[in-house]
């Protein structure tokens, strides 16, 4: 179910939970990733961030009634369609805004995990020397 707490629904709630777990693990030093593994993730996150920003940039268009004509069916759908985008509980726009926040957090978590990996590698190298 969609809920205001998840800011866009169950589909993104799972992602939020996963990102929170990665962030917690990275911040505690329990998760590390090499630059070879982390950089492609950062690139993918950045690409998705740009896509979400573009979609949100066009979101005002989605919030308007479409020009569907004046048939009885059109008159039913015209006021309904903008709510698909704008509904605060189930709308696409709140879901995209939540995704935008999650992507910022994911990016920071991966960067922290890359830093953890580097620090662990340096510590292990020092132990071997």
Closest C-alpha among 19, 1, 7 to residue 92 = 7
Q: What rounded mean pLDDT belongs to the chain?
A: 87
- Structural domain range at position 100: 75-109
pTM for the full predicted model: 0.79
- Residue 29 located in a structural domain: no
- Per-residue DSSP letter, 8: S
- Residue 93 located in a structural domain: yes
- 85-89, Cβ contacts within 8 angstroms, sequence gap of 24 or more: 85/59, 86/62, 88/4, 89/2, 89/3, 89/4
Q: What gap in Å lies between CA 119 and CA 121, rounded to an integer?
A: 5
Q: What gap in Å lies between CA 47 and CA 29, rounded to an integer?
A: 27
- Residue 11 located in a structural domain: no
- Residue 94 located in a structural domain: yes
Identify the pLDDT of residue 34. 96
- Residue 89 located in a structural domain: yes
pLDDT at residue 57 greater than cutoff 80: yes
What is each CA distance from 20 to 25, 40, 45, 77, 128, in whole angstroms?
A: 9, 20, 15, 38, 34
- Residue 97 located in a structural domain: yes
- Residue 14 located in a structural domain: no
Q: What's the domain count of the chain?
A: 1
Identify the pLDDT of residue 2. 41
- Per-residue DSSP letter, 64: S
Q: Dihedral sign, CA of 35, 38, 42, 43?
A: positive
- For 67-102, the pLDDT digits (tens) are 889 999 999 999 888 998 899 888 889 999 999 999
Q: What gap in Å lies between CA 108 and CA 120, rounded to an integer?
A: 18
What is each CA distance from 123 to 25, 38, 39, 58, 127, in whole angstroms?
A: 19, 20, 22, 48, 6
- Residue 117 located in a structural domain: no
């Amino acid at each position: 179910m969609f809920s205001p707490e998840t800011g866009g629904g169950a589909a993104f709630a799972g992602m939020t939970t996963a990102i929170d777990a990665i962030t917690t693990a990275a911040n505690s030093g329990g998760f590390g990733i090499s630059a070879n593994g982390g950089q492609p993730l950062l690139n993918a996150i950045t690409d998705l961030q740009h896509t979400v920003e573009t979609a949100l940039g066009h979101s005002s268009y989605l919030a308007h009634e479409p020009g569907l004509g004046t048939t009885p069916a059109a008159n039913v759908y015209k006021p309904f369609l903008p709510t698909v985008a704008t509904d605060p509980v189930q709308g696409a726009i709140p879901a995209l805004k939540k995704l935008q926040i999650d992507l910022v957090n994911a990016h920071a978590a991966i960067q922290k995990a890359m830093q953890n990996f580097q620090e662990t590698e340096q510590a292990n190298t020092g132990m071997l020397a």
